[in-house]
Amino acid sequence: MDSVDRAQPGKVDWRFHTLYPMTLKGQTFLVNGVKAQMEGRFVYSSSGDLALTQDSGFAGADPAEWEGQPAHWHLTASTREAASHRIVTLLTPRKAGLQDYVSYFMDDQGHGVHLYFTYQGVSRRVEVAKPY
């Protein structure tokens, strides 16, 4: 879980770096490597859905500095404006071609948000406390 509290309301960019292009869909991203994959799912953001974009290269850097190197890809997940941000991201690595799935359930009926993750019959709980 990532927590950011700001003095003034504003946006936050959550960043992810990889050597492979990603497939973006809704609140998920998928990295397809040679031998493995990794799925990322934004399962909770206190300011609402995130806006996902990706780019390659290094903005502001002289391309000659990384000429001849493999391409680099960057995911940016941008929040909406808020004074406090809570972001829960589920990262699931797996061998290429496997379809492992981690299910989750959100309970937000109290003084915080409780997320329950289940994989192969084992469940874990993550509590996201509300900022006061």
- Between 129 and 35, the higher pLDDT residue: 35
Greatest C-alpha distance within the chain: 54
The model's confidence at residue 69, banded by pLDDT at 50, 70 and 90, is confident
pTM, full prediction: 0.88
Question: Looking at 25-34, 61-70, 71-80, which range is the least confident one?
Answer: 61-70
* Distance, CA of 6 to CA of 91 (rounded, Å): 26
Average pLDDT, the chain: 92
Q: Mean pLDDT, to the nearest integer, of 78-88?
A: 96
DSSP assignment, residue 119? E
For residue 42, give Cα distances in angstroms to 29, 31, 69.
9, 14, 30
